[in-house]
Amino acid sequence: MENRHPIILNCGKLFSLSKTVTSGQCFRWSREDSTGGYSAVVFGQAVTAVQEGEKLTVYIDSGAEEKPNSEQLLREYFDLNSDYEEMDRLILQAEPRLLKAAEFARGVHILRQEKWEALCSFIISQNNNIGRIRGIIARFCELAGEHIGGGQYAFPTPEAAASLTGEDYKNLGFGYRGDYMVSAAKMVSGGAIDLEELAKLPTEEAREQLLKIKGVGPKVAECVLLYGFGRMSCFPIDVWVKRALEELFDGDRSILECEYAGVAQQYVFEYMRLSGGFDKEKKFTASAK
Q: What residues does each domain of the chain span?
A: 4-81, 115-227
**pLDDT for the residue numbered 239:** 84
The fold for domain 115-227 equals Endonuclease III; domain 1 (1.10.340)
**pLDDT for the residue numbered 139:** 97
What class is the 4-81 domain? alpha beta
**Edge-to-edge strands of the sheet including 4-10?**
4-10, 55-61, 45-52, 37-42, 30-32
pTM comes to 0.91
Distance CA 215, CA 124 (A): 10
**pLDDT for the residue numbered 275:** 78
Report yes or no: 213 and 184 within 8 Å, Cβ to Cβ.
yes
Report yes or no: 220 and 124 within 8 Å, Cβ to Cβ.
no
Low-confidence ranges of the chain (pLDDT < 70): 1-4, 62-68, 276-289
**pLDDT for the residue numbered 288:** 34
**pLDDT for the residue numbered 113:** 96
Report yes or no: 59 and 38 within 8 Å, Cβ to Cβ.
no
